[in-house]
Chain A
Amino acid sequence: MTIATNRGIMNAMASSPLILRIRWPVRLWHWINALSVFIMLMSGMMIFNAHPRLYWGKFGANFDKAWLEIGNHGTRGYVALAGHEVPTTGLLGYAQSTALAFPPILTIPSSYGLSAARGWHFFFAWILVASLVAFLVYALVSGHLRRDLALTREERRPSHLAQDLWDHARLRFPRGEAARRYNPLQKIAYLSVVGILLPLLILTGLTMSPTMNAVLPWLLDLLGGRQSARSLHFIAALGIAGFIAVHLLMVVLAGPINELRAMITGWYRLPPERRP
């Protein structure tokens, strides 16, 4: 890219307007949620380390068949999915000279500690649930859900979604006026997190509590038993981790300074329209 065209883009950037894109309640919730989700994932991985096997059904322990296991043969780590072992030394099962499913770099606390991990997990569970409820109430009452997150009739058309998918694949993000709004795939991603993954994590989490099983036996039945709930909890957490990876990649690709400023101050500079 030449200096001249570079300057042209800079000029266009400077002249494109700053808009108030994200209101303070959403920004506040985003950061509280980001912190809680990271702590929940890290302490959750340590809790998983205590029994790194997952089952389907009402019960499940060492003598029962696990659909997923992260383990090791000496210093060789593996992940076994439905009995098929994949070597994962250095990543999972055995890494950082530690024979645990998830290595020290990923967990809270970093060395084996189930009670501390449970302490952190259940403390931040309260924060996660309280902030999510507050966010959902705000999103409903303020119109954020209807105005910014719900897909319009036009956006729900398969051809529109296909076009959006094709644009994402070519990393052609909306610019100019179109960038005032979230795009359809972005809306679907956000709605999946607040509407499906986080609620599923909370409900499956409650279902692992023996006292809550006494209070909400129907939830235990609905989720297919405690070990199924534990498996679904893990899968939903994996979904959240996948969302975070894509979310961060998108922030970087869309312009990390502009995106971060928007999530901190609310102000977002509309990317200038492409020259025809």
Chain B
Amino acid sequence: MSGLTRRHALIGASGLLLAGCDRIVASPTVKRVIGLGENASRSAQRLVAGNALAPEFSAADISPVFRVNGNTRPTAAAYLDLMADGFARWQLAVDGLVARPLSLSLAQLRAMPQRTQITRHDCVEGWSAIAEWTGAPLALLLRAAQVSSRARYAVFHCADDFDGTPYYESIDLSEAMHPQTILAHTMNRQPLSVGHGAPLRLRVERQLGYKQAKYVMRVELVDDLARFYGGKGGYWEDHSGYQWWAGI
């Protein structure tokens, strides 16, 4: 009996401790202070990273199976319609704060100078997979569109959604202009599969997996992220509080 009560007392005490800890974690002031860590990481990494290239690997390093993650098959009728004829009528829009908005077909994107890179994809959860990606450097598209000096971010609007909330992501212009930042249509020398984001996905190689937006339909150049959806710059940032700076 006394063993039982002691056990209950321990469970009760640990419950109180947990409740106390969780109150601290949930406090808005504490959240603000903890958020300063993200600012510090972003500033420090911006300072030291410059235009340094993400490591590239050899063909022997490619993962035998690259796990599909997030949405694996968009359900929007407009997307399914485009998919039905192999994305022949699909167009990528580049607009927002640009002098010359673009609308590009897959064939036009493939006709541009291409970059191929074997890089590692790091999920925020901790796993990694290596693949070869081919696509058009985003910097070429942005130069062609003549981005305004007021633009600070590129927002990627996607065809997939979670319960009706569209997926989107954003990166700053220094990441957008990085030579390894490409819009990939080819993975491991095959056209991008629907599971991996057909017909086009972002590869931004110095950032975590949730930045690698799949099913990209539109690249919008903006000066502020606050007006999009939850205002935090991306679906997972809005929905689960993931850090916008995904370099760590």
Interface residues of A (CB under 8 A from B): 47-48, 50-51, 53, 58-64, 104-105, 108-111, 113-116, 118-120, 122-126, 208-215, 217, 220, 226-227, 230
Q: Which of A63, A123, A210 is in CB contact (< 8 Å) with B36?
A: A123
Q: Which of A108, A122, A227 is in CB contact (< 8 Å) with B25?
A: A108
Chosen A-B contacts, 29 in total, with CB atoms closer than 8 Å, are: A48-B126, A51-B125, A51-B126, A59-B63, A61-B66, A63-B63, A64-B65, A104-B18, A105-B17, A108-B21, A108-B25, A110-B22, A114-B124, A114-B240, A116-B34, A119-B38, A119-B241, A120-B34, A122-B37, A123-B37, A208-B122, A208-B248, A209-B45, A210-B54, A210-B120, A211-B206, A214-B54, A215-B48, A217-B55
How many interface residues does B have (CB within 8 Å)?
Answer: 49
Contacts of A63 in B (CB 8 A): 63-65, 67
Which residue of chain A has the shortest Cβ distance to B122 in the bound complex? A210
**Is B72 in contact with chain A by the CB < 8 A criterion?**
no
A119 touches B128 (CB 8 A): no
**Is B208 in contact with chain A by the CB < 8 A criterion?**
yes
Contacts of A125 in B (CB 8 A): 37
**Is B14 in contact with chain A by the CB < 8 A criterion?**
yes
Q: Which of A109, A114, A211 is in CB contact (< 8 Å) with B49?
A: A211
B45 touches A212 (CB 8 A): yes
B207 to chain A, nearest CB (A): 6
Contacts of A116 in B (CB 8 A): 25, 34, 241
A114 touches B125 (CB 8 A): yes
Q: Which of B18, B33, B34, B61 is in CB contact (< 8 Å) with A58?
A: B61
B14 touches A105 (CB 8 A): yes
Contacts of B107 in A (CB 8 A): none
**Is B187 in contact with chain A by the CB < 8 A criterion?**
no
Bound CA span A122–B39, Å:
10
B128 touches A61 (CB 8 A): yes
A122 touching B122 in the complex, CB below 8 Å, given contacts A59-B61, A109-B21: no
A211 touches B37 (CB 8 A): no
Contacts of B18 in A (CB 8 A): 104-105, 110
**Is B52 in contact with chain A by the CB < 8 A criterion?**
yes
Bound CA span A126–B40, Å:
8
A50 touches B124 (CB 8 A): yes
B241 touches A115 (CB 8 A): yes
A227 touching B55 in the complex, CB below 8 Å, given contacts A122-B37, A123-B33, A209-B45: no
Bound CA span A232–B224, Å:
40
A38 to chain B, nearest CB (A): 11
A119 touching B35 in the complex, CB below 8 Å, given contacts A50-B125, A212-B248, A226-B128: yes
The proximity string for B residues 120-135 relative to A, scoring 1 for CB distances below 8 Å and 0 otherwise, is: 1011111111100000
The proximity string for B residues 29-51 relative to A, scoring 1 for CB distances below 8 Å and 0 otherwise, is: 00101111110110001001100
A116 to chain B, nearest CB (A): 6
**Is B229 in contact with chain A by the CB < 8 A criterion?**
no
B240 touches A122 (CB 8 A): no
Contacts of A230 in B (CB 8 A): 126
Bound CA span A108–B41, Å:
20
B190 to chain A, nearest CB (A): 18
Interface positions of B from 55 to 76, Cβ below 8 Å from A: 55, 57, 61, 63-67
The proximity string for B residues 125-151 relative to A, scoring 1 for CB distances below 8 Å and 0 otherwise, is: 111111000000000000000000000
A113 to chain B, nearest CB (A): 8
Contacts of B120 in A (CB 8 A): 58-59, 210, 213, 226
Contacts of B169 in A (CB 8 A): none
A47 touches B126 (CB 8 A): yes
A62 touches B22 (CB 8 A): no
Identify which of B14, B53, B125, B243 gathers the most chain A CB atoms within 10 Å of its CB. B125
A115 touches B127 (CB 8 A): no
**Is B247 in contact with chain A by the CB < 8 A criterion?**
yes
**Is B205 in contact with chain A by the CB < 8 A criterion?**
yes
Q: Which of A61, A104, A114 is in CB contact (< 8 Å) with B63?
A: A61
B248 touches A60 (CB 8 A): no
Interface positions of B from 213 to 231, Cβ below 8 Å from A: none
Contacts of A114 in B (CB 8 A): 124-125, 240, 242
- A58-B57, A115-B241 given. 7 additional CB < 8 A pairs? A47-B126, A61-B65, A108-B21, A109-B21, A124-B37, A211-B247, A212-B248
- Nearest 8 interchain pairs by C-beta: A123-B37, A211-B247, A51-B126, A61-B127, A63-B65, A50-B125, A115-B241, A214-B52
A211 touches B126 (CB 8 A): no
Bound CA span A111–B207, Å:
26
A210 touching B124 in the complex, CB below 8 Å, given contacts A62-B67, A115-B240, A119-B35: no
Contacts of A122 in B (CB 8 A): 37-38, 41, 248
A209 touches B130 (CB 8 A): no
Contacts of A48 in B (CB 8 A): 126
